[in-house]
Amino acid sequence: MDPTHGPQRTSMSSSPSPPTGGSATLDTWDIVVLVVYFVLILAVGFWSMFRTKRSTVDGYFLAGKSMTWWPVGASLFASNIGSGHFIGLAGSGAAAGIGAIAYEWNGMLMVLLLGWLFLPIYIASGVTTMPEYLQRRFGGRRTQLFITVLSLFIYIFTKISVDMYAGALFIQLALKWNLYLAVILLLSVTALYTVAGGLAAVIYTDAAQTVIMLAGSLTLMGFSFAEVGGWDALMEGYFKAIPSIRVPNSTCGLPREDSFHIFRDPFNSDLPWPGVIIGMSIPSMWYWCSDQVIVQRSLAAKNLSHAKGGSLLAAYLKVLPFFAIMLPGMISRILYTDDVACADPERCKQICGNPVGCSDTAYVRLVMELLPAGLRGLMMAVMIAALMSSLTSIFNSSSTIFTMDLWKSVRTSASEWELMIVGRLFVLVLVVVSVLWIPVVQASQGGQLFIYIQSISTYLQPPVSIIFLLGCFWKRTNEKGAFWGLAIGLAIGCIRMLLDFIYPAPLCYEEDNRPGVLKYVHYLYFSMLLSFITLVVVVVISLATEEPKPEQISRLTWFTRFDPVEPKEQVFSVEQSKTTPEVITTQTNRTDVTEKDEERSNGKASHPRKDSSSSTPSVQSQSRLISALYWLCGMERGNEGEENPAKPLVPEQAIFSLEENRHMRLIVNVNLLICLSVICFMIGYWG
């Protein structure tokens, strides 16, 4: 904005805070805690390297089906709660009250839906990835490729760049570094963590990170409430937290009257209640019930009861962000009103470098101002570690999807060595694109990072949710209906998303001159409309075309999940690997890698090739430095030229069984009722 033609400013009664974003910085004890934390994380990473085979692109899936309920639940929670949550959820609380917590409570319902409705279908089908499920359910490859490309877009626009920006913002305010310098630092540390520990280390560190995240955030919550004067002081002080410099005759800087309600006016509010109930649930269903990163953690459970227990633990833990993240963000507005709730673009730019608003600095201000030495370093370590954990998981999922679903389809004869190189190079591409996207993230949605994430999700995710929902629960859904529903839904969603970027929402003192579809159709209402359009297209085209084949139905829907296992599902051949490479690679790694290593050590070669004799001396003649580098990167050249034998890979009962212990089933079902009661109480009380 041009400062010579900017809005006039007026002073309120409260004294302004210095536009510095806080004067506290990390001291020696904070640095010590930070270093100790990362040493421990890297130690866990190196320890996992000796236990895990990392010489394949999809080494992340080697965790196997051996996890109990508590690491599954902790991993689900840690995967969802990253630095973007700490920054974004607290920022939304500071800017607009508790409305955005509806996303968290909606997620509680969706993760329970995953455990009780979707996971039995995925387990019965024996799939290990979500694109694989779509391929087996509908046949062909075009629907699978659609989901692959869309997933990559979603990872870049709503996960990678947002997490990088949130973590960099924290470092920027804590150490007074340039935002992009902080991004480069984060990427460097994340690369070191990935190389040293591999993604197998994530499953070992997620549970510890959950404990430390909760301990740190709850400690900060205690300091925050003590500083503000308790619950009553929060309820009263929030409405009085008006910045001293704001635009006259406007709503700039004024707290919302409905700040302590999640069900708001259906026409003129930031989160209309019909959209909260329906429009919010559809994209949330995609994230919790069909996103590969989330579902794969549940599939790692040893049986269905433990998977349900993991969903329950994650749901219980998601009660805490309201008290440990959002309410402290609102307290931050009270304590640092002029900085966190700044309403003048020029002043906001001085405070945080973002003329749109500085509400996303709310949580960081509390950490740097209220916590004593040592605890500040711990909270910084927690947030950065949460960022790195989510980034490594996303990088692995993205590179696996690109390599196995896109690159492998173009180069069907690509060697394992080539696939590993392509997967790692694609991570670099993701990083570059994400860095370039950060300025858009920074300027979007009035400085509310959490709202940016959710609004983009409502444009891209509803068609996918409808496809999975109908595929799992309506046997008549066929490939043509799924493909055209997905194509039309995504086209409409992309048009709305482009319009949103072309015509950004006006500031509080500007007139709204956007097109009517943006001005009058809230993004949550648009999610409902997009879901309805996709649903109609899928149903009409499916009914007008041929029925799915029996093999596309058996054990692939809710109503057929108990069908007997077909013999052909027990053995995967090399021919099947051409159509479902990710399944073969994943399952082969679980049982055959050890046998192959033994064969190589005994000088055996099951499938000799012309170049095998020349490649072996080349590998043996490598210097120790190169060999060490290959080992560190998890890339062993000796795997090239090996083929997967056509043999039973995984015992079918370990994959397809839906059996549950009677006592365990009773326990999880009783806890399901308790958890649903807690959700209903919270929604009713704060509605």
d(CA 677, CA 671): 10
* Beta carbons of 589 and 59 less than 8 angstroms apart: yes
d(CA 367, CA 380): 8
Which residue in this structure is represented by tokens 């800087």? Answer: 253
Query: How many other CB atoms are found less than 10 A from the CB of residue 566?
Result: 12
DSSP, residue by residue, 336-360: THHHHT---HHHHHHHHS-TT--GG
* pLDDT value of position 635: 56
pTM: predicted TM-score of the whole model, two decimal places: 0.77
pLDDT single digits (tens) 104-114: 999 999 999 99
pLDDT band at 8 (very low <50, low <70, confident <90, very high): very low
Alpha helices in 65-127 (DSSP H): 69-80, 83-96, 101-113, 119-125
CA 199-205-207 angle, to 5 degrees, is 130
Terminal alpha carbon distance of the chain: 38
Is the residue at 597 inside a domain? no
* pLDDT value of position 606: 42
* pLDDT value of position 601: 41
H/E stretch holding 524: helix 523-544
- 264: which strand partners? 272
Tell me the average pLDDT across 444-457: 60
d(CA 17, CA 243): 9
Nearest CA to 449 out of 185, 176, 165 is that of: 165
Is the residue at 534 inside a domain? yes
Query: How many domains, the chain?
Result: 1
Tell me the average pLDDT across 599-628: 48
Nearest CA to 98 out of 282, 257, 274 is that of: 257
- Residue type at 624? R
Distances (CA, A) of 120 to 125, 517, 561: 9, 40, 7
Is the residue at 581 inside a domain? no
Q: Which domain holds residue 468?
A: 19-567+653-686
605 pLDDT exceeds 90?
no
Answer positive or negative: Cα dihedral of 368, 371, 377, 383: negative
* pLDDT value of position 500: 82
* pLDDT value of position 347: 83
Burial group, residue 66, by CB count within 10 angstroms (0-12, 13-18, 19+): exposed
Which residue in this structure is represented by tokens 């300025």? Answer: 439
* pLDDT value of position 372: 86
Average confidence score pLDDT of the chain:
75
pLDDT single digits (tens) 425-443: 777 777 777 677 767 666 6
Question: Percent of the chain scored above 90 by pLDDT?
Answer: 24
Angle of helix 200-228 relative to helix 375-401, nearest 10 degrees, comes to 140
Tell me the backbone φ, ψ of residue 610, rounded to 5 degrees: -65, -35
More confident residue, 653 or 205: 205
* pLDDT value of position 656: 61
* pLDDT value of position 234: 93
Tell me the average pLDDT across 4-28: 44
pLDDT single digits (tens) 476-501: 999 999 999 999 999 999 898 888 87
pLDDT single digits (tens) 53-107: 555 444 434 344 667 888 888 888 887 887 778 888 898 899 889 988 998 999 9
Which residue in this structure is represented by tokens 């958890």? Answer: 675
Nearest CA to 312 out of 679, 557, 654 is that of: 679
Is the residue at 261 inside a domain? yes
Distances (CA, A) of 356 to 353, 364, 438, 440: 9, 18, 14, 12
Helix (H, G, I), strand (E, B) or coil at 669: helix
The phi-psi region of residue 344 (left if phi > 0; otherwise alpha if psi is between -120 and 50; otherwise beta) is beta
Nearest CA to 146 out of 479, 442, 512 is that of: 479
pLDDT band at 651 (very low <50, low <70, confident <90, very high): very low
Nearest CA to 385 out of 38, 23, 136, 49 is that of: 38
Which residue in this structure is represented by tokens 């704001």? Answer: 246
Is the residue at 405 inside a domain? yes
- 10: which strand partners? 246
Distances (CA, A) of 556 to 456, 470, 477, 562: 30, 11, 12, 10
pLDDT single digits (tens) 397-433: 777 778 777 787 778 777 767 777 777 777 777 777 7
CATH value at residue 246: 1.20.1730.10
Tell me the average pLDDT across 458-472: 91
Is the residue at 468 inside a domain? yes
d(CA 59, CA 76): 19
Is the residue at 6 inside a domain? no
Is the residue at 591 inside a domain? no
H/E stretch holding 30: helix 28-51
d(CA 624, CA 631): 10
